[in-house]
Structure 1
């Protein structure tokens, strides 16, 4: 999500992460419940915390 400058589609995030739709849906729900992301239109999500998007863009990518 941090790589784009607009709300992201959940299916695009899943494709980039090579994750199945169930995994993406589970994390989407968890992040919504935690207040880190918010709905931003049909199938789209955006960061809910001001400055989080910019902060994450400055951090190195996480290793798997």
Structure 2
């Protein structure tokens, strides 16, 4: 998967079946398959590759 914006990654997670619940500010708690993580949605900003991979791993998804 190539580098992407936060908003694109959020849409990708939603397509995988992730559920988003508001936390504080631009942060959301993401739930998928009984696992949870925090996701900061900064819209059109580029997402760092390490952060994207970490969220994918925490939710038990394949890259």
| Larger strand share, 1 or 2 | 2
Give the greater-gyration-radius structure (CA). 1
Q: TM-score, normalised by structure 2?
A: 0.33
| Larger helix share, 1 or 2 | 1
